[in-house]
Structure 1
Amino acid sequence: MDRPLLALTSRPLIGRSPKAAAAETMRQLVQLRWIAVVGQLVAILVSHFALGIVLPLTPMLAVVALLAAANLVFVVTIHRRMIPGELTIALLLDMAALTAQLYFSGGAGNPFISLYLLQVVLGAILLTPQVAGLLALAACAFTAFLNFRHFPLLLPAGDTGLLPIGRWLAFVMVAVLLVLFIARISRNAKLRDAYAASLAQRAVEEEGIVRMGLFASGAAHELGTPLSALAVIIADWERLTIFSSDPDLADEMADAKAEIDRCKAIVSNILHSAGKVRGVAMTSESARQLLETIAQRWTERRPNSRLRTDLAPLGNARVAAEPSLEQALWSLLENAAEASSGLIDLVGAIEDGNVVFAVLDRGPGFSEDQLDCAGRLYQSTKGPGHGLGLFLAANVARQLGGRLSIANRDDGGAEVLMRLPLIASKASE
């Protein structure tokens, strides 16, 4: 199975953002309120018509209707935008509705007065300590009011078993609802914490990239002078008779000059990229042409390595590219060559609206530790050919809206896949 590196792409970050977590909590409260609406309606009708308890149906059913209407309003706001304090308002509304129902059905003597604890516990979990304290004070005030002001609860004559049953049912309701709701809230909180951890991890990675970029640009600036000096020395040597009269020495000198020119070009690209704002240098390029160019240059650079390409499936597909993308793909080929002296495959394909670049080698593959730690800054191990280049390539893929994944092949060797969003094809432009 593929292991994603810096997998903060298709779903940008793991878990839920604080806003998404708050919205999910609100959805849970809405579901809980629908349970309350149905439960109150059933309890009122059964108590009045089946158990013979005389209740003022009109005001109690009106409270149920108002609670249902308020819940519909909350449903609409969830899909739009949550306002500050909406959770507090929701819990206070539930508490007020419970107070109204208890007022019309016996006040503090009603067994279901213990449902206040449900609101207080939820407030302690979801709200700040100050707001939760105010909610607890409100519950205390409501219960005190109900001790002195309420409609009497008229039970059937001689029936003394209803109150104990009611107290037991109230306890069961509170226990079950607390377990169900708190379990969901706990899961929601874990997702929120995972999101925060992902943000922290991304910050560390981005900081590392900045530090490496500063170091690379500084090193490139310092390398410019000795490379220029070497170029001058080689130019002087080429004019010596010993080199012009010996074809082998002349060829070696030409190779040395070409390598110095390549080093100077790399240094220039680093300095040039360091002075550019990300996005300005981004262009739309043919994916197939990009890989063909890299493959040709890499083969010339490593004539003893065997590289096989299969790029026809790319067709005219285009991707967003910048200089760092070419460097990242080059690094993946270098890793594959260091891992194995055998055949290396460079494959291109189109999958689910993405351009996929695959580098396959015949080496020993990744160890479990490398699969778990690869792509993490300062934790990448330079095993058989797989090191910091994976982290840099993964970061480039992420910045371009894609992702990098690694895996071990069933028939041996390693597989590195870079997925980038498909921009367009010439046929569709």
Structure 2
Amino acid sequence: MRNWTRAAAAAAVVMLGLAACSDPAAEGPSGAAAGWPEANAKLDGVNLTIWAAQNSNTVPDQVIKAFQQQTGATVKVVTIPDPYEQGVQTKVATGDKPDLAFWQPTASMLTALNARTNLQPLTDAPWIPQVDPALRDITGLLDGTRYAALITSPAVEGVYYNKEVFAAHGITSLPSSFDEMVSLARDLKKKGVTPFFEMGGDRWATQWWVQVQLADAAKAGLWDRINNGTATFSSPEVVSAIRKYHDLIGEGLFNSDIKTATFDDQGAALLGGKAAMAIQVNSFFGQLQAKADTATLDSKIGFFPIAPSGNIGTFIPDQSNALVAFRTGDAAREAAARQLLAFWLGPNYAAFVADRKTVSLQPAVPDPAGVPKALADVHAALPTSVGSMQALAVANPDLYLNLADMINGTMTPEQVAEATQKQFAQLAKAAGK
């Protein structure tokens, strides 16, 4: 099954790329010509579908309810099983398209969907002038055209920690480097605490451990070098990061059920104090918000960015941060999809951020009451963060699947690097890079 998933993802990219050569619609995107409907215009009888991942399928609940009441449209959320990105690419390659989908708004992942052919351009979207200028063009663009709508603060890889566990063991200052964090973990293990919790069963978060170790290298141009072939995933700096992750697991610094633990298990363990730390992204905190109120989260959960040289975050806009609108060939539904985005990020935006208790991207819309401090700290780390593989590489291979295989003992660190590089080269070639 693992090999089928990887092959399907690669095949999807190739098929989507071939479509760009043959689809005449690529020359004249209907979204650009049709303009933007009024956000509250009536849509009686119109049915829209949104594809979402398991960790984003509740994000639009408030928006959908309000939109349906205002317009008369019907909006259905369909959850695509993990691994989400591969599932979406495979479906789209066979012609199965939703009206909208949650999607990583990076150039490489927009390329993976062949945005020019399959997605509506969001050029001149009415909400864009309202977005914080520092965030307006940080992501969502491919070759100068906007294809993704950023709805929440882009994710930052970093460390979520249990404040009560830290306090109970006399930890009064946060680690200021990766090695300091590991040293702290060793001290906690000696005291009978599980230092780190990893969700090896669900696999997709395993890559964060490697990427935060590569933050300094990314700042120094690692991904540019991998893109142009002067470095590879088998280069010493990448293999060293994979090896360190492997060795820390072998040292017993993670949960004993690392091979089978899930995303939900990870949230429950950190919130319940069964583990001290987890390296994760913003969607993890969304899961915590579903489990506890703001007061509880503020008292129990903190966040700090981490890198080898200091408290530097790794910027990785993920699929829960943004939406894309598909070109389905149905002009009425395409216009309705644009209208939903205009409603979401226009007259409904204040209600959306209040419902999600999340940081506002629009200066005219203040942060709502109840935004947890950890989430504000994540957002504050964004300006000094460096790009992740997803943000800066021309293709995104299945590093996380290979790392999960390593956790399960079927790959060595060197084999992880070799397999990842091989797929990276294939995907980059298929995408014309």
- TM interval, short-chain normalised: under 0.3
More helix per residue:
1
Question: Looking at CA atoms only, which structure, 1 or 2, has the larger radius of gyration?
Answer: 1
TM-score normalized by the length of structure 1: 0.23
TM-score normalized by the length of structure 2: 0.23
Higher relative contact order (CA 8 A, sep 6+): 2
